[in-house]
Amino acid sequence: MADDAPQLYLVTPPQFDPDPFSQTLAGLLDAQPVACVRLALATRDEETLMRAADALRGVTEPHDVALVIADHWKIAERAGLDGVHLGDGSRNVRKARADLGADAIVGAWCATSRHDGMTAGEAGADYIAFGPVGGPTLGEDARAEDELFQWWSEIVELPVIAEGGLDEAALSRLATITDFVALGEELWSAPDPLRRLAELTAALHG
């Protein structure tokens, strides 16, 4: 990828079988340079989360890719992950940072709120994620518009991630105004995630 293109950030499905999914993920990491993977299972079961974390770490570590977990920063610490992605904006950033330490990654999903993004940054977040960018059922009030990313990239030094409903058109528009693009359902809903990743990555080059 070009040096000035956004980096790739992959988000797992909310449910998966660790062994076959790890093989799929390894293929994606072999094919494209990826900065970070987020373990985003829709469960609170610690055994399930730990098993998935172990499986994914076995893939991300050899590829030198950061691995964070959605919300469960206590498990991030226990499982030896690189950090946490918080889904509730700035609310728990300070606490997660205190628990995980200065070297851990702490990211915050701030939907469409500039104020929440700024607050999360002041509390110690390493990056802010805005979105969703697109989707068939979104009203304008629920969408993170291009101007939000443009404003953030011009005013704030903290890295920003575009996430949710990303297609070729959105990626082409956002290529110069976001630091990362988070791809999840965009890949896993495709018949061939590897091919879909190549298509979406190509759009970042305009």
Domain of 79, CATH number, reads 3.20.20.70
**pTM, entire model:** 0.95
Residue 158 domain flag: yes
Structural domains counted in the chain:
1
Residue 42 domain flag: yes
pLDDT digits (tens, 9 = 90+) for 64-93: 999 999 999 999 999 999 999 999 999 999
Mean pLDDT, range 45-49, rounded to an integer = 96
Report the candidate in 78, 131, 125, 70 with the shortest Cα–Cα distance to residue 102. 125
Residue 189 domain flag: no
CA distances from 3 to 28, 53, 153, 176 (A): 20, 30, 16, 11
Residue 153 domain flag: yes
Report the candidate in 71, 92, 89, 90 with the shortest Cα–Cα distance to residue 81. 71
User: Which range of residues forms the domain containing residue 71?
Assistant: 7-183+199-203
Residue 188 domain flag: no
Residue 45 domain flag: yes
**Paired tokens of 116:** 């929440």
For helices 93-100 and 114-123, angle between their N-to-C axes, nearest 10 degrees: 30
Residue 114 domain flag: yes
Residue 176 domain flag: yes
pLDDT digits (tens, 9 = 90+) for 107-155: 999 999 999 999 999 999 999 999 999 876 555 568 999 999 999 999 9
